[in-house]
Amino acid sequence: MPIPKATFKLLSPEALPCKPILMIGLPISNATWAESMSHILIHNLLYASTSTYMNGGSDYEDKLKHLLSLKGDDLLLLANDHVASTIVSETQIYYPKSYDVNKEQLRQLEKEDYQAVIVDDTCFIREPDLTAFVMKHYAKGASVAVMAIEGIFDLSALNRKFQVNWKNAGYTKRSIELNYLGKQILDEAFPSNHQYVKANFIVGGGELFTEYLCPEDYDDEEDYPDGPPPPTPGSPVITSLGESKSVSYFGFVNPLDVSYGAILLKLCYAKAPHHSPTSTVAETTKVLVPRKKLQSVPDLLARGDEESTPAESLKSKILWMIFLMLLFYISFDLFLRKKEVSDDYSGESEL
């Protein structure tokens, strides 16, 4: 699978090393999975504080080119040799016969701080020890990405843990493209054109994809007088952004459809835009405008608008006086007209 070089923008020397990204309990012990997660593996090899890959040299460009040329199994060997603490596959975290969590392994992993923790969708349902581990690091500032490995449709456990409101809208195939938020967060990690994918589609806020509807399919005005229908709700990737971290759900189920690692790497660094100096996400700033107090007309005439400047207050007084004088004139004129009509009617009656 080709890996876009643009995904690996070299960090400045003072920014290195960075916290590693932990992948735990995933079936990443084979070449196919390593290939699909290659972006994460390369990132950890180059930048993680736990990595020994860069020892004795600092030529990132040459080493990056070398890593990009490697196949999945070669990358996995390097990652295991140099950053073993950031890749803990399901065969390492679970005992083979009982399939219980290796608590000693967890205690060793707890000593490190992580940029993000990537787990599968069974973690928050079947593994309380692993859940506690993930939530502890989330509380310390790590982002969390949940992958739909088993295809768990019930997301209530995630909703409770992370205060989100996500629901599974369907497990299906669909043509999708990035929406505005998706373009800002994922950028070059996903192709600029639409892709036909199989995935778990999620709704609930923070969707990064929308259904692609080909305009040519809806040209017939008789069948589609109002044009294309609205896109079907749901996105394979959904995220909730925090001040310095995020929690995301990754619903793709075929690594041949898209590059898993490229998208997950972006999610690991996703956070609210105003806390990211390099983010291009448009910020929406809410300005609270105090409501003016209601004042009676006498108060306005006596004191003016209490929330206005002196000049505005004087102008308001003058306008109100003109309005009241005009109102008085019209009322008085109507009174006189009515009186004249009444007098005329009385005179006619006497005759």
Instruction: Give all strands of the β-sheet with 143-147 in edge-to-edge order.
Output: 87-89, 21-26, 116-120, 143-147, 246-250, 237-241
Q: How far is CA 294 from CA 138, 297, 304, 307, 320, in A?
A: 48, 10, 12, 11, 15
* Cis preceding-peptide flag for 191 (omega within 30 of 0): no
Confidence band, pLDDT 50/70/90 cuts, at residue 349: low
Confidence band, pLDDT 50/70/90 cuts, at residue 211: very high
Structure token digits, residue 306? 């209490």
Q: Does residue 112 contact residue 50 with C-beta atoms inside 8 Å? A: yes
Instruction: Evaluate if residue 299 carries a pLDDT over 60.
Output: no
Higher pLDDT, 37 or 288: 37
pLDDT at 337: 74
For 1, counting Cβ atoms within 10 Å of its Cβ (0-12 exposed, 13-18 middle, 19+ buried), the class is middle
pLDDT at 312: 61
Confidence band, pLDDT 50/70/90 cuts, at residue 1: very low
pLDDT at 203: 96
Give residue-wise pLDDT tens across range 222-252.
667 777 788 999 999 999 999 889 999 999 9
Mean residue pLDDT of the chain comes to 81
Instruction: Evaluate if residue 257 carries a pLDDT over 60.
Output: yes
pLDDT at 57: 64
Structure token digits, residue 36? 């699909």
Confidence band, pLDDT 50/70/90 cuts, at residue 334: confident
pLDDT at 199: 94
Beta strands in the chain (DSSP E): 21-26, 87-89, 116-120, 143-147, 167-178, 195-203, 209-211, 237-241, 246-250
Q: Of 299, 322, 323, 303, which Cα lies nearest the Cα of 314?
A: 303
Q: How far is CA 94 from CA 24, 25, 228, in A?
A: 10, 8, 49
Which of 98-102, 130-134, 259-263, 331-335 is predicted least confidently? 331-335
Q: Does residue 203 contact residue 234 with C-beta atoms inside 8 Å? A: yes
Three-state DSSP class for 200?
Answer: strand
Higher pLDDT, 271 or 233: 233
What is the 3 state secondary structure string of 165-178?
CCEEEEEEEEEEEE
Instruction: Evaluate if residue 91 carries a pLDDT over 70.
Output: yes
* Confidence (pTM): 0.74
What DSSP line would sit under 65-134, residue for residue? HHHHTS-HHHHHHHHHHH-GGGEEEHHHHB-TTT--B-HHHHHHHTTS--SEEEEETTHHHH-HHHHHHH
Q: What is the mean pLDDT of residues 156-182?
A: 95
Three-state DSSP class for 222?
Answer: coil
Nearest 5 degrees, angle CA 84-CA 16-CA 62? 80
Q: What is the mean pLDDT of residues 301-328?
A: 68
Higher pLDDT, 119 or 91: 119
Structure token digits, residue 78? 């390097």
pLDDT at 297: 46
Q: What is the CA 140 to chain-centroid distance, rounded? A: 20
Q: What is the mean pLDDT of residues 110-135?
A: 93
